[in-house]
Structure formats: C-alpha cells, structure tokens
Amino acid sequence: MDSLLPAVGRVARKEFRGFFATPAAYLFLGAFLAATLFIFFWVEKFFARNIADVRPLFQWLPQLLIFLVAALTMRAWSEERRGGTLESLLTAPVPPLALVLGKFAAALGLVALALALTLPLPVTASLLGPLDWGPVVGGYVATLFLAAAYVAIGLYMSVRTDNPIVALILTAVVCGLFYLVGSDTLTGLFGHSVARILDDLGTGSRFASTTRGVLDPADLYYYVSLVGVFLTLNLYTLERLRWAGNPASARHRRWGVLAGLVAANFVAANLWLTPLNLARADITAGHLYTLSDATRQQLAELREPLLIRGYFSAKTHPLLAPLVPQIEDLLHEYAVAAGGRARVEFIDPTRDRDAEEEAASRYGIRPVPFQTADRYQSAVVNSYFNLVIAYGDQYETLGYRDLIEVKARGERDLDVVLKDPEYAITRAIRKVAGAYQSGGNPFEELNHPITFKGYLSPDDRLPESLRTLHGDLQGILDDLVKKSDGKLKVSFEDPDADGGKLAAELKRKYGFGPQIASLLDPQPFWFYMVLEGDGDAAQVPLPETLDKASLERSINAALQRLTPGVLKTIAVVKPPAYGPGGQHYSELEKVLGENARLKTVDLKNGRVPEEADLLLLLAPRELDDRQRFAVDQFLMRGGSVVLATSPFDVQVGNSLKASKEKSGLGDWLAGYGIDVGDAMVLDPQNAALPVPVERNIGGLSLREIRMLPYPHFPDLRDEELNPDNPITAALGQLTLNWVSPISVDAQKNAKRKVTELLHSSAESWTSDSLDMVPDYRGYPDSGFAVSGQRGAQLLAVALEGRFDSYYRGKESPLAAEEAAKPDEPAQGGAKAGEKEEKKPRITGVIERSPESARLIVVSSNTFASDASLELASQGMSTLYTQPLAFLQNAIDWSLEDRGLLSLRGRTRLARTLDPLPEGQRRVWEYLNYGLALAGLIAVWGWRRRVAVADRRRYQRILAEA
C-alpha cells in the first residue's frame, strides 16, 4: 500500500497533464459550462422561475454527464491498445491497480474541476434570494459520486475495445441503461413495490434523493459499489490482456474467482446497508426531511392507536409518481418515532375492490382523473394520491392539493414538489387527536390539578336570575369534581368580606370590579369565575342567556383552554362578502379550520362568545360602542386579539379602487400607544402585479398580461421578518398588500413587552394618495412617484402584558343602552296586558387585564383576503400562502400553542428571488457568462504555468545528464 499510493498519484498526474496536452480538456470544460449555463438560464429560465435554488441544474446533470463522461473516457485505454502502448504499460514497474486507479482519479479530477467552475451559479442564487445550501451541497456530492460511477463504467468500456468511438457508444448505452432503470418512464409501468426495486437499481432516483439535501450512506455506497465493480472488471480485463494467448492456468482461474467475489461483495453490501438509517444526514436548512421535535412530541402525547393509511395507485400522473416514495419514507419515520402508537399502511385501491369501497364510503376518498400523454396516445388516468389519519372515531383526509405545491414555468412546464408534508401530516394528527379528546373527559389529559375559584356575593345581594344560576353552578361543579378524580378543587369567596381586601386584590390582579344588572337595578354585586392551574388562569365568562346549559359550556370551554392538545375556538369578525367593500376570506377560513374551530360573530350584542379562545378581527369597519366594548372586555379577560386593520380599503376588479374607511378602533388602539398611520407604505423591494399592457403588432392592438413591480406590495425578507420571534422566524418571505405604517408610543407601553414583527425595507416611503393604478410611463422604475423621507416602516406589532380598559371609570355601554330603551310591547304570543318576563343583562367593566393578555396588530385590511392572495399567486406563478401562514403562526403564538410554528411556511417554492428589474437580471446573467469564461481562462493560465514549469524541470534534468 505504501508503494501503491505514490504510484497512483504519479499516474493520475501524468493522465491529468495528458488531458491538457491537447484541446480535449478545454473542449470538455467548455462544453460542460456551455451546457449548464444554457440549461440554467434558458431551458429552466432561472429568473422567470423565480425560485432561489439550483435544483433544475442538478436534474439535468445525470443525462448530461452520460455523454460528457463517455467522451472523456473513450480514449483512456482504447487509444493505448490502438497505439500499441498498452503492452509497455503492463510490463512497466507499476502495478496494474495503480494504472487503473490513476486513470480513474485523473478523469474524476477533471469532472470535479468542471463542477467547481459552476459554483458561481449557486453563489448568484444565494445573493439574489434565501438559498438553502443543503440541497446545493447534496447536489454536488451526488454529482461527484454519480460521475465516479460513470467514469468507472467508461474506463471499463474503453479497455474492452481498441476503437474510441465504440467505447463512447458502449459507455453511453450502459450509463443510459442504469439511469433508465430508475427513471419515471420505466417505473411508471409497474406498481409501487416493483417501482421501488427499480428505483433502488437505477442511478437517477438515488441521485434525486441526495440532491434534496439528504446524505444517506446507502445511496452514496450504491455509487461506490458501481465504482468498485467496474474498476474490478477493468483490472481483471487488464490481467487477461497480459496473459492473452497463453494457455489457461490455475492462476488465471483464481483471478476470475477473486474478481467475481470482489464484485459480488461490492453488490451484496447494498443489501445490508439499505435498512440502516441511523447515519442519514439531513443537511437542509431547518432539517426539512427529518421529523421535528414538535412532531415527536405530538406522537408522544397519543393515548390511542393512530392509523396513517396511504392510498396511492400504481397508475398516476408522471409528475406525482416520484413523490410517492418520498411520502412513504416520511411515513415510515412516523411509525418508528411513534414507537408502536402508530400503524402505517399503503394500499392501492385500484387493485383491491374492498379497499376502494371502504375509501369511498368511510372516508369519502375517490380517484382524481388526470390527463396524461405519451408518444403513442393521450389518456385519462383515475389516480389515488391520498392519506388518511385516523384516531379513535375521528379522521382527517389529505389529498394531493394538501401535499404538493405546483409552480408554472411556462404554458406546459410545471414544477411539482411536496408542500412540507410533515406540517400537513402533523397538523392532521393534532386535529384528530384534539377533536377526539375534546369529546371526552378533559381531566384525562390534565397532568396537574385545577382550582375553580368563584368570587360571588351572597345570594341576598344577587339578582334573582343569578341566584338560580348560583344553584346550577354548584350542581355543575359537583359533577365535574366527581369526573376529575381529585384533579378539580372548588372554592367560593365573597370579595366584599373582611373589609373588601379580596376585592382590592381582584381589581389589581384581574381588573374585576362590582357588577350591576342594569342602571334600573344599580345594586352592585360580584359574580366572577376563574379556573387556575399550573400557573395559568382562564376566566369563565357569564353566559348571556344565564341558563345552566350555557354556563356548563362556558366552564367546559375554559377547561379546554387549560387542557393540552384540545382544539381551540377562534371568533372571527370580518366584513360582509358582498356589496361595497366586500371581501372573501375562504382560503384563510379553510386553513384556520384545519387546527381550530371557527365561529363567525358580529359582536353587536356586546359580547365575544364564551367559548372563544381568540378574537380575530379582519378589516373591521365602523364598529360601534357595543362592539368595541366586546373587544375590550375580551382582552381584559386575558384573551388574545389579532387585528388586521388599515385606514384604507382597496377593491380589486376591472381596476384598483381605494377608499378611506374607519375601523372604530382608532381611539381604542391609541389608548395602548398604537397609531395606524393615515398613509400607505410603498417599497422598491416589492412583489409583482399582473398588469394588462397594450401592444401594437402589425397594426393590430393586442392586450397581454405582464408582471410589473408594484410598490404597494412590500416584499419582506431576512431582518424585515423578526428572526427572534417564532411568528416570523420560519417564514422566510412575506408579501403584504396595501399596508399602512404603525407607530408605537414607548411611554404608554413601558410596562408591556413590545415585539416588532414586520418592517418594510430601508428604502420605502409613504403616500396618502388613493390612486392605486401604477403609471409606468411617467415612473418607469416603480409606477409611482417617490415622496417624503425614505426609511423602514413598522407594519406589524405584538403587545404582551397588562392592559387597562378603555372603559375604565366609564359606564358599561350595555347597561347604558339597557336603561335608555323604552318599554317594549309584548312580543310573539304574549297576551295583551301581560308583560313579558325579561332577564336582566348582567354587565360590568373589567378594568384591567391579567399578564396573559396579548394584542397583535397588522396594518393591512386585505393582505389575507382571497383577492390579494390571487394577485400574489399570479405574480409568483404558484399558490401563495405565506400571509395565511403568518396569521396561523400569530394565532398559535397568542394561544401559546407552539407545536406547528417551526413547521409552517417551510415550502421550497416559497424561497423566491429578491425583486429585481429586468436590467439587473440581465447583468447577473451576463456576469455568470463572464465568470465562466474567466474560469476557463484561469484554468488555461494555471495549466500554462504547470507546462512551463515541467519544461524547465525537464531541461534541468537534461542539462544535468
């Protein structure tokens, strides 16, 4: 071995110099660079694709390397045989193994040099967008290993013939067969089990797995085994050439047996390496292909068996077929991580009639028709691409729309990738587990005791209706104590007792104060309820109807807020969907409904529903005093309020129309030191807007849609998304629409925690103009005039801590309106002269919130509406959902439900390029052309210096001789 390595080095250097002794090496490098640049910028349209990655380049390399490596290796041995120099090599004092390894190292070194010259491409992508370097590193590693396998095959084919052209054809055919075996063209003809075997045999599928950013020793060893087998055959062929013409001997047979055993061992090692996943390295940013701690924690909380069943048909759309093995691998990881608490199954309903009927009748799963075509015919394939997650009597289904992400690259070309499947699957598990648990005994999921504290006045001071409710409360609590198995304790106290010490403490801690039934019955009393446990507190609001069933629901809702894993309830206030200013939020409601219960409310009764855990206000408009009071008191009870508001409303139709509007919450927000400015933020770093443009061609006026920069759509990235807050840390990018600046009064918020979530870029400016239509003729760069001082603007903020009520020291609007109402006539079936019994409206003002209260303000009315999402999606040629992910994260953070925060928004197609004008894009493209040429010149200069140094060394040796 000590003598072998120096010999290999000498042969490799000699062969490497030989490549550059002729134009062959420069032709190889030039052709490789020209092909990669053409593919990157022209075929895959890097800038039009608008994704910060180099994945399309690596998708082409397996085919490209077949021909380039075949041309590189065709002369390696065949030229030696044709020129008669092979005999001299075999009789030289150099081991044949050193000759084989030296030629292999030289050829692979030239391929590595060619790959190094392509490094400006990923560097460019990283400078223009949030590039994930994991897949890039994986791509280069996979390319080197694949090239090594191709080089070994090429060397063996070259040693088998003395004709370089024949060697080239043989190499291309054999390498092409290895690639074809695992390609979608062949695997699509078989079922998943056979296709999986073919994937393992082919070079393409393992290459694709590594280029995702997952370094699996089994995949890398596959290429090592190919190298070992073909280099062994190469060495054996050289030995046979050495004894060619001699009679067969035992030594020759031993060589054959030894070569066969070595090759067989290289192949056999694949069988025992394949099941081992312990050394698998996920080098992607955020470890996209490794189960997160959030998922493992969710699986650890399972109390019942979980079923995950995949319905995948053998015949499916060719763009979906490569994704099935990735989902299967991920689900196997779920099964392992669950440790027996989860069962994973895969079924092809097209081959099992009973399974197909069960999928349709029980889960509502039916095949989806896909249009496919090959070179013989076009057809429609009914395909299954679904997952079912079942837990107890609850289940959730995921279709291909939930699992994949599609981006258009042209009229017919599509990018199809998995859309963060771990988030979709874990979210479904959380939903079914939460739904199942919420229907059972909530105390079973509690691992700490809960105390119910009732702060009630004696019955003689309570209104009559509350005396009855007091008795109902006692009965409800008795039943809960029995169900709790000792986890629930109950205590009642009179806040006015002992000189009102407790009343003062409640006012300081919770902002509680005396209540009244109405201004007509001003006798003050106390009737507050709180659940406390493990340092958390949930206030139990009085139900508006003051009946036993409503009170029981209110208590159970508070219990669920303290129970981990139970679905939360979100009360949503949104503008009307029709008429002036109508907005649709169907996409937002769909995604929020995946993790929580939604309840649409208008707050006109002055109350937020008792079961609500969070209040979401979308573009509130002209809220009256009762509605404002409902928002205020929900926050005072320690609730979380997420508010999307702006002084402007923009309607999307045949044109863009902006109008001023008032939310009714301006003064309320000002009390907490928040002011949403009466202007809009325009940012030169922005997303595109689809704009109709008139073109005159041959006297005909044509209208086409062009994607042009639109400053009213700020494109937020990097530090503009707070990296230290979980709401924004994992988003990567976010586009806001028609957003206003926010200012925060530091003095008013001195005792609260203020977190600035979103900022515009440092070059942004503000404008109060209502003209939303860009003028690209007058202002070619942005479509709008730049006015005022430039600077970063705050666009979203989160407040945590204790809030003082806007109604502190004021009468409750509910009590005031009750007193102002005249006596109403009898309704319905009440007889004349009879007075309908009316229950008093119990009201009061909670003057201070607990520390758990949270308020998030986003200064845009429309950024999560369907119309805005559609505009952003058209500009990016993919379904754009980052605003929805932001709101989901804000809600989870507000409810202290952090389980999915780290998973949401990690889709690969969301890593878009920074907005650039067309001129700058051309500069970057031409710069890469120039760098490629400079790289070739640098290689020429390097080899020129080496050649000059060699000549001087030879001249010195000759002079000494």
Mean pLDDT of 847-853: 89
Residue 274 has pLDDT above 50, yes or no: yes
Task: Give the per-residue pLDDT at 834.
Answer: 45
Task: Give the per-residue pLDDT at 71.
Answer: 93
Residue 818 has pLDDT above 60, yes or no: no
Residue 799 has pLDDT above 60, yes or no: yes
Task: Give the per-residue pLDDT at 580.
Answer: 55
Q: Averaging pLDDT over each range in 40-54, 119-133, 363-377, which range is the top one?
A: 119-133
Mean pLDDT of 154-158: 96
Task: Give the per-residue pLDDT at 827.
Answer: 39
Mean pLDDT of 126-137: 91
Higher per-residue pLDDT: 583 or 6: 6
Rounded Cα distance, 208 and 819, in Å:
73
3-class DSSP state of 711: strand
Given the structure tokens 């030629």, which residue do they identify? Answer: 103
pLDDT digit string (tens) for 874-901? 877 778 889 999 999 999 898 876 667 6
Mean pLDDT of 48-56: 85
Mean pLDDT of 311-326: 83
The identity of residue 788, as a single letter, is: G
Rounded Cα distance, 432 and 438, in Å:
10
Q: How confident is the model at residue 534 (pLDDT cuts 50, 70, 90)?
A: confident
3-class DSSP state of 351: helix
Mean pLDDT of 97-108: 95
The closest alpha carbon to 358, from 323, 304, 397, belongs to 397
CA 844 to chain centroid, in Å, comes to 45
Q: Is the Cα dihedral 26, 31, 32, 38 positive or negative?
A: positive
- The DSSP letter of residue 730 is T
pLDDT digit string (tens) for 445-469? 677 889 999 999 999 999 888 999 9
Task: Give the per-residue pLDDT at 375.
Answer: 46
Task: Give the per-residue pLDDT at 699.
Answer: 62
pLDDT digit string (tens) for 670-682? 999 999 999 999 9
Rounded Cα distance, 748 and 669, in Å:
11
pLDDT digit string (tens) for 851-877? 889 999 999 998 999 888 888 888 777
Q: How confident is the model at residue 434 (pLDDT cuts 50, 70, 90)?
A: confident
Given the structure tokens 């609850």, which residue do they identify? Answer: 394
Rounded Cα distance, 161 and 156, in Å:
9
Instruction: State what percent of residues in the chain have pLDDT above 90.
Output: 43
Q: How confident is the model at residue 409 (pLDDT cuts 50, 70, 90)?
A: low
Is 721 in contact with 761 (CB distance < 8 Å)?
A: no
* Helix, strand, coil fractions of the chain, as percent rounded to 5: 45, 20, 35
3-class DSSP state of 868: helix
pLDDT digit string (tens) for 596-640? 888 899 999 999 988 888 999 999 999 999 999 999 999 998 899
Given the structure tokens 């691409």, which residue do they identify? Answer: 385
Mean pLDDT of 32-59: 89
pLDDT digit string (tens) for 712-768? 999 998 889 999 999 998 888 899 999 999 999 999 999 999 999 999 999 999 999
Q: How confident is the model at residue 820 (pLDDT cuts 50, 70, 90)?
A: low
pLDDT digit string (tens) for 205-260? 789 888 988 888 889 999 999 999 999 999 999 988 887 767 777 878 888 899 99
How many CB atoms are located within 10 Å of the residue 956 CB? 10
Residue 46 has pLDDT above 60, yes or no: yes
The two beta strands, 680-682 and 765-767, are antiparallel
Residue 277 has pLDDT above 50, yes or no: yes
Q: How confident is the model at residue 694 (pLDDT cuts 50, 70, 90)?
A: low
In sequence order, the β-bridge partners of residue 488 are 450
Residue 838 has pLDDT above 50, yes or no: yes
pLDDT digit string (tens) for 823-837? 444 434 444 444 445
Task: Give the per-residue pLDDT at 93.
Answer: 82
Mean pLDDT of 927-951: 94
DSSP H helical segments within 93-191, as ranges? 96-116, 120-128, 133-159, 164-181, 184-187
Task: Give the per-residue pLDDT at 87.
Answer: 80
- The DSSP letter of residue 835 is P
Instruction: State what percent of residues in the chain have pLDDT above 70.
Output: 89
Residue 488 has pLDDT above 80, yes or no: yes
Task: Give the per-residue pLDDT at 565.
Answer: 59
- What is the biggest distance separating any 2 CA atoms in the chain, rounded to whole angstroms? 136
Task: Give the per-residue pLDDT at 910.
Answer: 64
Q: How confident is the model at residue 652 (pLDDT cuts 50, 70, 90)?
A: confident
Higher per-residue pLDDT: 840 or 746: 746
Higher per-residue pLDDT: 408 or 273: 273
pLDDT digit string (tens) for 280-303? 788 888 787 888 888 888 898 888
Residue 906 has pLDDT above 90, yes or no: no
Torsion angle of alpha carbons 360, 364, 365, 367, nearest 10°?
70
Task: Give the per-residue pLDDT at 857.
Answer: 97
Rounded Cα distance, 470 and 454, in Å:
10
Q: How confident is the model at residue 408 (pLDDT cuts 50, 70, 90)?
A: low
Residue 340 has pLDDT above 50, yes or no: yes
Rounded Cα distance, 928 and 38, in Å:
11
Mean pLDDT of 919-940: 94
Task: Give the per-residue pLDDT at 476.
Answer: 92
Enter the tokens of residue 758.
């979103």
Q: How confident is the model at residue 204 (pLDDT cuts 50, 70, 90)?
A: confident
Higher per-residue pLDDT: 194 or 697: 194
- Its pTM stands at 0.76
Rounded Cα distance, 389 and 393, in Å:
11
Rounded Cα distance, 126 and 136, in Å:
10
Task: Give the per-residue pLDDT at 909.
Answer: 63
Torsion angle of alpha carbons 595, 599, 601, 607, nearest 10°?
-90
Rounded Cα distance, 782 and 708, in Å:
8
Residue 317 has pLDDT above 70, yes or no: yes
Task: Look over the chain and give the mean of its residue pLDDT values, rounded to a whole number.
Answer: 85
Is 599 in contact with 571 (CB distance < 8 Å)?
A: yes
